[in-house]
Each structure stands twice: as C-alpha cells, then as structure tokens.
Amino acid sequence: MDETKEKLNWQRLAITIGIVLVTAAAVGGTVWYLMDQNTKSIADSNTQAVDALQKQVEELRTKVTASASTSTSSTSNSVNTDSSTKDKVAINTVLETFTTNLTNSVGASGSVAAQKNMLAVMDEKYTTLVKDTYGGSFALALGLQDTPDQGYFIGMATVSGDSATANVEFRYSGGSNPQKKFSLKRINSVWLIDAVESI
C-alpha cells in the first residue's frame, strides 16, 4: 500500500511541474507579444510624429520662400526690405546647399551642387587643389575635421549691395563648434561664395 501512495505522489508532482511549465511559457509568451506590440506602436507613432514635423518644416520653408519672392510694395523702403529678405533667403539656400555637401568628393553629384554655389570652385585649378590635396573633401579644404555630426547653424546674412557675409557654426559632438565666415558676391543676380575664413 505504501508503494501505491508513493507512485501517486510522483505522478502528482510530475503533473504539477508540467502545468507550471506550460503556464510559465504561456505567460512569458503573452508578455513578450504585448511588449513587442507596444514597441511597434511606439515606433509607428514616433515615425508619424517625425513625418508630421518634417511636413510642417517644409510648409514653413515654402511659405517663407513664397512670401520673400512675391511680396511687393509701393514705397522704396518696403522694396528695399523685400529685396533684402529675398537676398537673405537666397544666401541661406546657397550656404545650406554648400554645407550639406561638405563630405562629398569633387566628382560626386552632391559635390557638384556645392561647387556651383562657390565662386572659387568654378576655377579648374581650385577644383584640382581640393581633389589632389584634400582627397576631394570640402570639409578638409575648409579646415574642418569632418562633416559636422550634429549639423550646422547658419547665422543671419549681412547684405551690402552685391556683397554679403554670413557666419556658419559647424556642430560636433564633444562640444567643438568651429565657426566660419562666408563672404558672398552677387554675380548676374546669383549669390556665390567668394571666400571662407575662420572666426
């Protein structure tokens, strides 16, 4: 009779262990599934928020460009202000195009866009110098360690006739944020970079 009692206890123990394992697996699987769904939901909402912000930035940029190019006034003071705003928007666009293409080599398509916005680079000798001396890197040609990993900040341009200056801060992680002063000239109604110097 003692042997029968012992067998039943072992059977109960085995059944209990089996139920505990199945329950633990079910709970673990459910928790994993719910956490995975929550992570996906957060990622989707973050993507939607970024897309919405990018759309707003693009709409604002379009509005600024449109208002700068279409606003006219009958008084000479307003015309000068409007012209100055157009110039500043154009200068900012030139500097932004140039700055975003710093790492591209001289032959790369992005670099060609940067070259078109820099007066000195139109000279074949300068292009060869950047290509041969700096491996085609505009960043190195400007004395920068590399393309700024934290972006850049373009200051407000100062316009005087067909000349202008604007400061650009190149932002790096680690706090090194060198500034360069860009001098520009208007040639045939187009703003081009004429010189870059450290501040």
R_g of the chain, CA atoms, integer Å: 31
Any idea where the domains of the chain sit in the sequence?
Answer: 1-70, 84-198
Q: According to the model, what pLDDT value does residue 74 have?
A: 40
Cβ-based burial of 160 (10 A; exposed 0-12, middle 13-18, buried ≥19): exposed
Top pLDDT among 13 and 139 is at 13
The whole model's pTM is what?
0.52
**Residue 179: pLDDT band with limits 50, 70, 90:** very high
Q: Which fold has domain 84-198?
A: Nuclear Transport Factor 2; Chain: A, (3.10.450)
- Average pLDDT of the segment spanning 126-138: 65
Residue 169 φ then ψ, to 5°: -100, 125
Q: What angle do CA 186, 191, 195 make, to 5 degrees?
A: 90
Distance in angstroms (rounded) separating the CA atoms of residues 85 and 83: 5
Element of type H or E holding 19: helix 2-70
Q: What pLDDT, in 10s, does the model give residues 100-125? A: 776 555 555 556 556 666 665 555 66
